[in-house]
Structure 1
Amino acid sequence: MDRLIDLLPVLLAGLLLYKCSIVKPAGALREDHLSPRSCLSARGFFAVTVIMHHIAQYTSAGLLFHRFEYLGNMPVSVFFFISGYGLMKRLSSDVAYGRSVLRRRLPKVAVPFFLAAVAYKLMCMCIGQEMSAGDMLGYLINSGNSLCILWYFVVIAGAYFLFAVSALFFGGKPNAVLASMALCWAVYVIAGSRAGLGEWWYNTAHLLPIGMVWALHENGIQRTVKKCWLPVTVLCIAGFALIFTQYDSIYALCPTAAFHLTLAVLRNMFFTLGFVLITMKLRFGNRALELLGKVSMELYAVQLIPLDLFHSEAIWIESDLIYALAVLSVTVTVSVLIYLVKKKLNKQPSLG
């Protein structure tokens, strides 16, 4: 029965392709491929991809499904790109955006993070597993259980803070803010590697300033891409495929930490830009993806609970297929319920 787990990647592909359409005529390309609605669908798709990647790390069944284990944090690089693009888009249209960015964006990150951390602590108490605050911090930083999934919330929250400081310091000047964010990324990579952080902490964050570059120079980039969309797209896909499939062989040519990081940075960049370029020709999006996009932060945070709970001494699901279905169903259901509760609360009249 566990072989049926390979149907999950097929269903995921079907979710992406449902109502997908090709831009016509043959030489035409979309100019709104990074619209809020398109980005919402992308976030929904890659949020589910991230969950399936983590499930694959806990399972071994399936010819297709187990390959999700090797995706690493490549899907997360799309999140960083979209965030960087959105930040710069808003700043370009409103130089005072730096004053409100933390108020607008930080709660969307901080609330799921702390709710997930508290829920994980309560889960550990219920199943008789000791877990101190120090233990949780250690797992978050150094891996060891699903708590390390929350690294993304820490990094993106830090990026929002640095963006706000840069925007205020430079008076909302986009080029200056972009330069400062690129510099911050370089310093972060050096500091993170020397501090012994896992590479996943910093080998995708460069997509945030790349997304900012795309937003700042979008018109020029689109004009250039229109002239050579096919070769540039093929180059990105080929670059990603080469590094992804031959990673160990290429790394053996220069087995150093710096080269290892360089390969990861290039792989994630090719992966993300390849997807962005494909969306210029293919129009993805449907109501299911948009709903998943609206709860993408909740999906990302909630998953860590069923991932560990259903492979704990209290509840051990032996079947890989049932385990995967349980994790996915609980994660999506709880995330949607949280979204509906938040939506309901936001509609309540103010008492003050």
Structure 2
Amino acid sequence: MGKQLIYSVYFILPIILLWGAKPAKRGEWNDSFALDQTKVFQGFLTICIMLHHIGQKTCASWLFPKSRIIPGLEFFVPIGYILVSFFLFFNGYGAYKSYHTKKNYLNGFVKKRVLPVVLSLYSTTVIFFIARLLVGEKMDLPGALLYLSSIKLCNPNTWYVIVLPFFYLAFYFSFRFIKKDGVAVAATTAFVLLYILVGTSIDHNDYLIRGEWWWNCVHMFPIGIIFAKYEDKIIPHLKKYYWVYAIVAVLAVYPLYLYSVYAQDAFSYYGENFFAPDKVMRRRLTLLSQVFVTTDFVFAALLLGMKVKIGNRFLRFMGTLTLEFYLIHGLFVELFDHTFDGGVPSPFPIRNVFLYVIAVFALGLPSAILLKKLHQVILGTGKKKAENKLLNKAS
């Protein structure tokens, strides 16, 4: 009976998402692009990403020996890139909207946008490095330097915070030095496309751009920028034909996902395993199928958000910790797994998947809070926020 408890997450998640949700009245619209709405949904997706990572450790088809497989979270195993696509869309969307609505937005851009992400990468790298030493992983000096530099991922979930600063820098240089808005958008898009072309040409490895998850949803960054640029034309059109777009988008998610699964079987990201001469083309054809499903997923979520306002205290709170929770929860995923990131035995393996989920969340959440406070102290942002609150109260 205890093993079956894990299936309760499929009932708990909809409750978490829809608790406090308010449907819009007939003829009225909710702003699904508002910051409070996107952060709430990102808070929900962060929980799903945690389940994705735990699913990879408990019921993924590639686990060996097969006796390690414990069913329950199969749904989450293959959809990590779909979940992250929403974040990348709003990374691009938010950067473009801020550039056009905030005065002198590019002044201090690197400090405000890039530095916090880089800090998050290396703070969690150090935490994971210490954890690896404590659990008994043996490493020589070159190996330690590879970990500490993140050339070899010490925290296995940090690909996102490695590539995102480069996309932000591409945005910054494009809009700083190119006067025409459309050309700046094209330049940023070209950079991301070049990254994808490079990524698809690199075989699976143990270092940077080590596999398809490094690039199979990054196209959503320029799509977010392009959407923001033409939002004033797109949104009225969507409202005019809302139910057509909403029904088609929602119904298309699953068929497009099935097509992506077929493409992975037919073409394969792993063509190099059997020395296919067309392995790069195989990857790009497979990628194309995932471009379809990620774009439609984000589109469907935003369309549904135009008619339903989601939000409750828990998700609003999670929405303030998305980056920190994303980066730190993996520490406990590894500590409670069979092995720590595929190396030495983990010190506290938990076989009951439901207890595994509870333990990861229960320790990951306070750790994310502490990590956020640490980042605020280093960056000096916590003090500034407190001063702004005092000023607002005084005024």
Structure 1 length-normalised TM: 0.89
Tell me which of 316, 334, 349 is aligned to 2:367: 334
Unaligned runs of at least 5 residues, structure 2 = 60-68, 204-208, 269-281, 340-344, 388-395
Distance in 1, matches of 2:261 and 2:160, equals: 26
Partner of 2:145: 133
SS of structure 2 residue aligned to 1:149: coil
Larger Rg: 2
Deviation at 1:253, TM superposition (A): 6.6
- 2:39–2:320 Cα contact (<8 Å) kept: yes
Structure 1 unaligned spans of 5+: 141-145
Question: How far apart are residue 108 of structure 1 and its match?
Answer: 2.6
| 1:182 matches 2:181 | no
The residue that corresponds to 1:51 in the other structure is 50
Q: Deviations over 1:210-262 (max 9, x none)?
A: 11122222121111001111221222223321021343445667673221110
Is the 8 Å Cα contact of residues 9 and 65 (structure 1) preserved in structure 2?
Answer: no
- Residues 9 and 337 of structure 1, relative CA distance in 2, 3 Å threshold: farther
Deviations 1:82-126 (A, max 9, x none): 111110101112473223221111233122211111011100111
Partner of 1:347: 383
Matched, 1:322 2:348: no
Give the count of matched residue pairs: 342
Distance 1:245 1:195, change over 3 A: closer
Higher deviation after alignment, 122-131 or 6-15: 6-15
Query: Does structure 2 retain, via aligned residues, the 8 Å contact 1:5–1:62?
Result: no
Contact 2:119 2:375 in 1 (8 A): no
Instruction: Please give the per-residue CA displacement for 1:323-349, whole angstroms capped at 9, x wherever unaligned.
Output: 121111111121123335656872389
SS in 1 for 2:157: helix
Q: Which residue of 2 aligns with 1:297?
A: 323
User: Structure 2 length normalisation: TM-score?
Assistant: 0.80
Mapped partners of 1:113, 1:224: distance in 2: 40
Query: For the Cα contact (< 8 Å) 1:88–1:174, is it kept in 2?
Result: no
CA pair 243-119 structure 1, distance change in 2 beyond 3 A:
same
User: What is the CA-CA distance between 1:278 and the residue it aligns to?
Assistant: 1.0
Q: Classify 1:163/1:38 alpha carbon distance in 2 versus 1 (closer, same or farther; 3 Å).
A: same
State percent identity of aligned pairs. Answer: 23
RMSD of aligned residue pairs (Cα, Å): 2.4
Which residue number corresponds to residue 226 of structure 2?
Answer: 213
Q: What residue in structure 2 maps to residue 170 of structure 1?
A: 178
**Which amino acid counterpart does residue 192 of structure 2 have in structure 1?**
W
* Structure with higher RCO (Cα < 8 A, 6+ apart): 1
Residue aligning to 2:342: none
In structure 1, the partner of 2:257 is 244
CA distance 1:127–1:62, shift in 2 (3 Å): closer
Are the equivalent residues in 2 in contact too, given 1:166–1:180 (CA < 8 A)?
Answer: yes
State how far apart, in whole Å, the 2-side matches of 1:247 and 1:88 are: 30
8 Å Cα contact 1:109-1:157 kept in structure 2: yes
